[in-house]
Amino acid sequence: MQVKLNVGEQGRNWLQHMGSPEETRLLIQGRSAFLDYTPEAHKEAERLWGEAFDMNPEGGMTNLVQGWLHQQKLLLGLSRSPMISVSKARMHADKAFGIMGDGNSLSLKGFVEMIVGNCEAAIEQAERAVEIDPSAGTALAMSGAAMINCMGAERGVVLLARAMRLEPNHRAFYPNTLSLGLLYLGRIEEAEEIATGVISSNPERIQDRLPALARLAAVNVFKGDTDKANEYINQILEIRSTITITTLRRNFMTFADKEFVERYLDALSQAGLPE
């Protein structure tokens, strides 16, 4: 498999499937809001991408981003009807793939299947996405995340590491998910290195810092240093005092290996995170 180490490869492919300059502007501005991953930013992305979709409902990119919106609704708990959001995400992903034949549309389908617990379909779509678009960082990252959640972590961490190389300015979602996969595989030192890198980059968004701090707390419990682990938990609570084991457990509802989830959450409990 030949991989083109070109950060712009994915972007150029997307540009080929954008319509007018105004549609392109709306898609780009909407993606900026979408990547903030907050309820407020989601509403702005929905507005911008909705305008783009109204302009070109048969477009490849306008359908792909509609699928992303429904996926994000599920992850942020914003959907009034999760099954309708799942159905619409699948529909838009299928339509986008029919137009563009790309890996990102398939990785979206795989990620949605992961959310609903259909791991066999999730991994199948993820593998197809990687085969079609081995140079698409977003597709690799979403496919890798789906595999980690679906007990395919050996393959998932490889895909996420490749996505990070392809996109040097990647979102913190990439290394935060990679560090979780490495923890799952028992590769503690590597997980610590990746999570430390996230903190060292001093991300502005607290939702990028919190997972990395949690990984470092768990790492140090696994290494037997609960005092150091507690320091990371204290940093988490200083940022957001409402975080508990119960609230974090909701983030792992899609994780197939429940035994690992309990080990991970127990490590955070030992480090001092309230129940």
CA-to-CA distance for 165 and 101, rounded, in angstroms?
Answer: 24
Of the candidates 168, 188, 211, which is a domain's last residue?
Answer: 168
Residue 137 near residue 168 (C-beta atoms within 8 A): no
User: What's the sign of the alpha-carbon dihedral 7, 10, 16, 18?
Assistant: negative
145 and 184, same domain (yes or no): no
Mean per-residue pLDDT of the chain: 91
31 and 138, same domain (yes or no): yes
CATH number of the domain residue 230 falls in: 1.25.40.10
6 and 139, same domain (yes or no): yes
pLDDT at 11: 57
157 and 140, same domain (yes or no): yes
* pLDDT, tens digit, 9 for 90 and up, residues 252-273: 988 999 999 999 999 999 999 9
Tokens representing residue 17 in the block: 């499937």
178 and 159, same domain (yes or no): no
161 and 70, same domain (yes or no): yes
164 and 51, same domain (yes or no): yes
130 and 240, same domain (yes or no): no
Of the candidates 142, 168, 194, which is a domain's last residue?
Answer: 168
* pLDDT, tens digit, 9 for 90 and up, residues 155-203: 999 999 999 999 888 889 999 999 999 999 999 999 999 999 999 998 8
CA-to-CA distance for 240 and 134, rounded, in angstroms?
Answer: 38
- How far apart, in Å, are the Cα atoms of 117 and each of 147, 201, 224, 255? 12, 33, 33, 8
Looking at per-residue confidence, does 228 or 2 come out higher?
228
pLDDT at 204: 78
Asked if residue 144 has pLDDT above 90, the reply is yes
Structural domain count, the chain: 2
CA-to-CA distance for 48 and 209, rounded, in angstroms?
Answer: 28
pLDDT at 10: 54
177 and 134, same domain (yes or no): no
184 and 267, same domain (yes or no): yes
Domain limits at 54?
A: 1-168
Query: Quick one: pLDDT band at residue 3, thresholds 50, 70, 90?
Result: very low
119 and 103, same domain (yes or no): yes
What distance separates the 2 farthest-apart alpha carbons in the chain?
Answer: 58
pLDDT at 5: 37
Asked if residue 47 has pLDDT above 70, the reply is yes
232 and 130, same domain (yes or no): no
Asked if residue 220 has pLDDT above 60, the reply is yes
- How many C-beta neighbours within 10 Å does residue 252 have? 17
Of the candidates 146, 168, 190, which is a domain's last residue?
Answer: 168
Asked if residue 244 has pLDDT above 60, the reply is yes
Query: Quick one: pLDDT band at residue 7, thresholds 50, 70, 90?
Result: very low
Asked if residue 151 has pLDDT above 80, the reply is yes
Tokens representing residue 152 in the block: 């395919």
* pLDDT, tens digit, 9 for 90 and up, residues 90-115: 999 999 999 999 999 999 999 999 99
